């Protein structure tokens, strides 16, 4: 049985998306900047995609900048806004400690360029306290970046409240909505933000596509320089087939939201049954106000890395949340930021469901998990009792 429960990493492509991309690849192959008919047809397909993506987030088509990934959208938002604001003397950036690497590393890069960066803590349930933001905002704050939903634990952040605070001090507000799009309704007006990033492959669109919504009038310096595509905000010939796919995926994501409660019910079943079947387990992060598909479960006394491999050998794809460059697993910076005990930052498994996940799938995981966990615990306990468990040595060091 092959069972995919890693939809926060990526999703299977929707058949309608693949069909639409196929047409754009084979027939409407034109360059959207060209004057002739081929160019015009490609341009028309891009326009339709732009309208669809705008509708997904509640914005206007002219406010959408297509990018090559969610990461690129985050980088364009943060670096682009930072560069635009630098001359005004605002050189202070506030980001949360549970952001995706796309935001974290971009903030670090700005810090190396002399920006002041404030890291916003989360509480033990994985949520930012708005009072904490209020305390660090200054008249020099240029931008605040807080994700809408966390990729590892799924918690939804109080973006509207945070954005209002930032605006009260004259700062812009960016949100990384990569893990929220397709999992909860998004309305940029209600959130009151300035910038929002999404990624196509997280909601059954193609990889290599992303978009940044930029509130009309927001100053942004292009990071990819060249031609005048995307209103001179992102140069380079548009990936028409990919973006056509992104547009179809965005439209389907909106309609599929009607089915999200079923996904949430399956997730809740998984948590209830898994916690009952496997002793020494707990859910990480707040259980309400989470995206519907995500569950982060700690298995006491095991290394998550080994459990992910053991699950994979059984045909069950899950994840620890964050993977580094070589594909190995590191202690989760999100769980660390929540103040978890060091052991508990390395025993957590992320299950992320999709719209195709069934009750049988959940039952299968719950049936297989106890034996796998028991085996790993036996081995770990044996190693520890012989006093040469290197992992323990490392932790104590």
Partner 1 sequence: MRVVVAMSGGVDSAVAAALMADQGHDVIGVSMQLYDQRPREDGSPAFGSCCSLDDLHDARRAAAALGLPYYVMNFERQFDALVVDRFVAEYTQGRTPIPCTRCNSDLKFSTLLERAAALEADVLATGHYARVSYDEARGQYLLRRGVDRRRDQSYFLFALTQTQLARARFPVGDLEKAEVREYARSRNLPVAEKPESRDICFVPDGDYAGFIERRDAGARDAEGAFVDASGRELGRHGGVHRFTVGQRKGLGLSAPAPLYVLSLDADGQRVVVGPKAALERTTLEAAEVSWMAGAAPAAPRRALAQIRYQHAAAPGVLTPLPGGRAGFAFDAPQPAVAPGQAAVFYDGDEVIGGGWIS
> What is the per-residue burial (b if ≥16 Cβ within 10 Å, else e) of 221-236?
ebbbeeeebbeebbee
Spatial CA neighbour of 96 closest among 174, 195, 40, 194: 174
Closest CB to partner 1 among 1 and 397? Answer: 397
Q: Could you give the CA distance from residue 35 to residue 91 in angstroms, rounded to a whole number?
A: 42
Q: Could you give the CA distance from residue 397 to residue 395 in angstroms, rounded to a whole number?
A: 5
| Residues with a known catalytic role | 324
Closest CB to partner 1 among 55 and 309? Answer: 309
E strand map for the chain: 3-4, 64-67, 92-96, 116-120, 141-145, 172-176, 195-199, 210-214, 281-283, 294-299, 316-317, 348-352
Closest CB to partner 1 among 194 and 303? Answer: 303
CB of 305 to partner 1, least distance (A): 6
Closest CB to partner 1 among 141 and 345? Answer: 345
Cα-flanking dihedrals φ and ψ of residue 122, to 5°?
-115, 160
Closest CB to partner 1 among 161 and 322? Answer: 322
Closest CB to partner 1 among 34 and 306? Answer: 306
The contacts of residue 387 (CB under 8 Å, 6+ apart) are none
Going by the DSSP 8-state scheme, the letter that residue 234 receives in this structure is S
The contacts of residue 109 (CB under 8 Å, 6+ apart) are 79
CB of 192 to partner 1, least distance (A): 34
**What tokens does 356 get?**
């195709």
Q: Could you give the CA distance from residue 171 to residue 229 in angstroms, rounded to a whole number?
A: 28
The contacts of residue 388 (CB under 8 Å, 6+ apart) are none
CB of 121 to partner 1, least distance (A): 23
Q: Could you give the CA distance from residue 222 to residue 212 in angstroms, rounded to a whole number?
A: 12
H or E stretch covering 295:
strand 294-299
Spatial CA neighbour of 37 closest among 50, 28, 48, 26: 28
Three-state DSSP at 294 gives: strand
CA angle 284, 288, 290 (to 5 degrees): 75
**What tokens does 378 get?**
């036996």
CB of 386 to partner 1, least distance (A): 9
CB of 304 to partner 1, least distance (A): 10
CB of 115 to partner 1, least distance (A): 14
CB of 147 to partner 1, least distance (A): 22
Length of the chain: 397
Chain contacts with partner 1 (rule: CB under 8 A):
108, 112, 303, 305-306, 309-310, 312-313, 324-330, 375-376, 379-380, 382-383, 388-391, 393-395, 397
Closest CB to partner 1 among 136 and 309? Answer: 309
Q: Could you give the CA distance from residue 46 to residue 55 in angstroms, rounded to a whole number?
A: 14
């Amino acid at each position: 049985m092959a069972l995919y429960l890693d939809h926060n990493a990526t999703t299977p492509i929707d058949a309608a998306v693949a069909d639409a991309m196929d047409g754009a690849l084979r027939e409407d192959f034109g360059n959207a900047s060209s004057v002739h008919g081929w160019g015009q047809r490609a341009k028309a397909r891009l326009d339709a995609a732009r309208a669809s993506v705008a509708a997904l987030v509640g914005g206007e088509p002219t406010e959408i900048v297509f990018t090559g990934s969610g990461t690129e959208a985050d980088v364009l938002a943060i670096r682009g806004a930072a560069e635009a604001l630098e001359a005004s003397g605002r050189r202070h950036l506030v980001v949360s400690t549970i952001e995706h690497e796309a935001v974290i590393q971009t903030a670090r890069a700005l810090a190396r360029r002399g920006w002041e960066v404030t890291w916003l803590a989360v509480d033990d349930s994985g949520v930012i306290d708005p009072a904490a933001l209020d305390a660090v905002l200054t008249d020099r704050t240029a931008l605040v970046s807080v994700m809408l939903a966390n990729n590892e634990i799924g918690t939804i952040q109080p973006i509207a409240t945070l954005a209002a605070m930032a605006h009260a001090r004259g700062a812009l507000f960016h949100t990384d909505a990569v893990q929220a799009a397709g999992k909860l309704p998004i309305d940029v007006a209600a959130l009151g933000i300035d910038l929002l990033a999404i990624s196509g492959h997280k909601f059954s669109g193609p990889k290599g596509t992303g978009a940044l919504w930029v509130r009309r009038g927001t100053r942004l310096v292009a990071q990819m320089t060249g031609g005048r595509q995307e209103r001179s905000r992102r140069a380079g010939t548009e990936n028409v087939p990919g973006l056509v796919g992104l547009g179809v995926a965005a439209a389907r994501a909106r309609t599929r939201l009607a089915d999200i409660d079923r996904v949430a019910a399956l997730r809740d079943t998984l948590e209830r049954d898994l916690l009952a079947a496997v002793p020494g387990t707990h859910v990480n992060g707040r259980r309400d106000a989470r995206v519907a598909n995500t569950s982060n479960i700690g298995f006491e006394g095991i290394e998550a890395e080994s459990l992910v491999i053991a699950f994979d050998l059984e045909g069950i794809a899950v994840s620890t949340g964050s993977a580094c460059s070589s594909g190995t697993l590191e202690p989760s910076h999100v769980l660390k930021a929540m103040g978890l005990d060091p052991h508990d930052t390395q025993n957590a498994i992320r299950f992320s469901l999709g719209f195709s996940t069934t009750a049988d799938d959940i039952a299968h995981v719950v049936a297989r998990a106890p034996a796998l966990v028991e085996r790993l615990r036996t081995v770990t306990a044996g190693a520890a009792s012989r006093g040469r468990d290197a992992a323990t040595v490392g932790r104590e060091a």
